[in-house]
């Protein structure tokens, strides 16, 4: 990058001060302007604030100067950006409030003639709309929201906001890009399959035969499978033992740092279920008797995950599940021990830190915690755990839970007792509440009930299940044989 003082160390006329560093960009713009007809617009993407103060990046004044130079060189619009990959602050993750960077667009608008466009966490139309009305922005730009739903502008035009598949800023798409693998999107599994009819990017075709489908569990996998099966014309009922839909995603949406945005996906899936006529029966645990009575053609087990209670003492009163903690059902003691070191356990620790001055320790077997967390999130989570003085007991296991302490076996196999007023079980395992049985012609299992993974996999499982539900008999990996 010629423009940034962070990377441009040249000593010739293309280096030096911001004018020298902008020369390359200016000459390119002037060259293009001369070479193309005047009615063809030229836009440029430039950084309005590098957020690299810790390593000698451009100051905001220098960035503005480079943009003024581009403006004078004859650009027709500016796409202004914020930060670099190397920036030590969050730029596009969920912990950055939507609209956070609009002040940069506003500053550009005040200083240049060309219209200003900006992306960066403008995920809902109300925010850019307001900014435009206030003269802070000219064009609403989106990257991830359009990966999540390329029909977003059309749906807004048609006033169908409930149908917009919401980006949850998980950055799975980016992480895959950085690893040179094909993109995939957590909330839209059809990404990359737009031309394949069976993936339903333009909607699913009606099935020739109508099946009676029962889905057990209204988490994201179950909701997604049900919505597609119903869109295909099947008679679909979801049974959910809790009083709300959304499962782990809804619990996670209680977390701090923008995690409430998970609920947008739950709301979207629920809206799709409602739209396609899925019956959702809450507060109703499913029994084998119920299933045998219902005589469904297909049963989809989407019962998610639950804490593993095999540690001696797990049934004690001060032992709670991470879901109870996240849903605010638990009064936490001063010393909290979290059993687990995955992303779900870390989110629980952050929630607890956010709620008060607890002393928190996490215990789990891996050499590093958060191995399942996206790289663009894990560093900031670790930073926050450090700031909150969370003790990470790596390569360790809780051997026993006692009334006021837990016994931890460390990497050296030595056992130590650490104080614990509340023990949070965040050691999730597949929840196999419903046994396999001959209660339907076809029984499937999807989501964390198969194997505990991230939401990306749960939604994908649900989506593929919906795609395949009318192809019975169809052998899939998760199809359960009687």
Ligand X SMILES: Cc1cc2nc3c(=O)[nH]c(=O)nc-3n(C[C@H](O)[C@H](O)[C@H](O)COP(=O)(O)O)c2cc1C
Scanning 51-59, 115-123, 208-216, 463-471 for contacts with ligand X by CB under 6 A, the matching segment is: 115-123
Scanning 170-178, 295-303, 399-407, 459-467 for contacts with ligand X by CB under 6 A, the matching segment is: 170-178
Q: How many angstroms separate the Cα of 458 from the Cα of each of 230, 305, 378?
A: 18, 11, 20
Which CB sits closer to ligand X, 81 or 263? 81
Site for ligand X contains 174 (CB under 6 A): yes
Out of 77, 84, 101, 120, the residue judged to bind ligand X by CB under 6 A: 120
Provide DSSP, 384-417. HHHHTT-EEETT-EEEEE-SSEEEEE-TTS-EEE
Indicate the SS3 state at residue 152.
helix
For ligand X, how many residues bind (rule: CB under 6 A)? 14
Residues 32-71 contacting ligand X, CB under 6 A: 45
Backbone torsion region of residue 352, taken as left when φ is above 0, otherwise alpha when ψ lies between -120 and 50, otherwise beta: alpha
Scanning 31-39, 53-61, 182-190, 445-453 for contacts with ligand SF4 by CB under 6 A, the matching segment is: 182-190
For the four alpha carbons of 333, 334, 340 and 342, in that order, the dihedral sign comes to: positive
Which CB sits closer to ligand X, 185 or 339? 185
Burial 102-113 (b: 16+ CB within 10 A, else e): bebbbbbbeebe
Least distance CB 207 / ligand SF4 (angstroms): 28
The interface partner of residue 121, options being ligand X, ligand SF4, none and the CB cut-off 5 to 8 Å by kind, is ligand X
CA-wise closest residue to 420 among 451, 389, 440, 398: 398
Scanning 69-77, 181-189, 249-257, 311-319 for contacts with ligand SF4 by CB under 6 A, the matching segment is: 181-189
- Between CA 131 and CA 396 the distance in angstroms is 50
- Between CA 380 and CA 383 the distance in angstroms is 5
Least distance CB 46 / ligand X (angstroms): 10
Which CB sits closer to ligand SF4, 173 or 390? 173
Site for ligand X contains 264 (CB under 6 A): no
CA-wise closest residue to 26 among 13, 39, 37: 13
Which CB sits closer to ligand X, 121 or 276? 121
Residues 158-177 contacting ligand SF4, CB under 6 A: 167-173
Out of 185, 278, 385, 423, the residue judged to bind ligand SF4 by CB under 6 A: 185
The interface partner of residue 142, options being ligand X, ligand SF4, none and the CB cut-off 5 to 8 Å by kind, is ligand X
- Between CA 361 and CA 393 the distance in angstroms is 7
Encoding tokens for residue 82? 């914020």
**Phi–psi pair at 284, nearest 5 degrees:** -135, 95
The interface partner of residue 172, options being ligand SF4, ligand X, none and the CB cut-off 5 to 8 Å by kind, is ligand SF4
Least distance CB 120 / ligand X (angstroms): 5
The interface partner of residue 185, options being ligand X, ligand SF4, none and the CB cut-off 5 to 8 Å by kind, is ligand SF4
């Amino acid at each position: 990058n010629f423009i940034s003082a962070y990377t441009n160390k040249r000593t010739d006329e293309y280096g030096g001060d911001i004018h020298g560093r902008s020369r390359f960009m200016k000459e390119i713009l002037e060259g293009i302007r001369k070479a193309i007809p005047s009615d063809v617009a030229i836009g440029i993407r430039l950084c309005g604030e590098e957020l690299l103060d810790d390593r000698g990046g451009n100051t905001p004044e220098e960035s503005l100067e480079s943009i003024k130079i581009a403006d004078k060189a004859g650009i027709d619009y500016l796409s202004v950006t914020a930060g670099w990959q190397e920036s030590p602050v969050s730029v596009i993750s969920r912990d950055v409030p939507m609209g956070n960077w609009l002040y940069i667009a506003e500053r550009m608008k005040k200083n240049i003639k060309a219209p200003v466009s900006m992306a960066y966490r403008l995920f809902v139309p109300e925010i850019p709309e307001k900014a435009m009305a206030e003269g802070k922005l000219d064009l609403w730009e989106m990257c991830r929201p359009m990966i999540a739903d390329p029909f977003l502008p059309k749906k807004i035009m048609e006033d169908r906001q409930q149908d917009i598949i919401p980006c949850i800023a998980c950055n799975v798409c980016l992480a895959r890009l950085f690893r040179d693998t094909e993109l995939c999107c957590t909330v839209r599994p059809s990404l990359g399959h737009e031309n394949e009819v069976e993936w339903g990017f333009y909607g699913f075709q009606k099935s020739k035969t109508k099946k009676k489908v029962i889905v057990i569990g209204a988490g994201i996998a179950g909701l997604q499978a049900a919505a597609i099966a119903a869109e295909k014309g099947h008679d679909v009922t979801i049974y959910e033992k809790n009083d709300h839909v959304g499962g782990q995603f809804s619990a996670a949406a209680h977390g701090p740092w923008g995690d409430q945005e998970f609920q947008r996906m739950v709301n979207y899936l629920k809206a799709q279920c409602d739209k396609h006529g899925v019956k959702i029966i809450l507060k109703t645990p499913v029994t084998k008797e119920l299933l045998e009575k219902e005589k469904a053609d297909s049963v989809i087990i989407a019962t998610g995950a639950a804490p593993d209670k095999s540690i001696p003492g797990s049934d004690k009163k001060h032992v709670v599940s991470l879901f109870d903690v996240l849903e605010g059902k638990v009064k936490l003691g001063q010393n909290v021990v979290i059993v687990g070191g995955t992303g779900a356990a870390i989110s629980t620790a952050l929630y607890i830190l956010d709620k008060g001055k607890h002393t928190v320790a996490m215990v789990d077997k891996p050499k590093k915690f958060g191995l399942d967390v996206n790289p663009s999130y894990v560093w900031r989570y670790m930073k926050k755990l450090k700031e909150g003085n969370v003790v990470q007991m790596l390569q360790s296991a809780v051997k026993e839970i006692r009334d006021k302490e837990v016994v931890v076996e460390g990497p050296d196999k030595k056992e130590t007792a650490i104080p614990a007023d509340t023990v949070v079980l965040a050691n999730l395992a597949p929840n196999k509440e419903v046994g396999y049985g001959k209660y339907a012609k076809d029984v499937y299992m999807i989501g964390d009930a198969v194997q505990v993974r991230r939401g990306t996999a749960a939604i994908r499982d649900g989506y593929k299940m919906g795609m395949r539900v009318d192809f019975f008999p169809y052998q899939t990996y998760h199809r359960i044989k009687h």
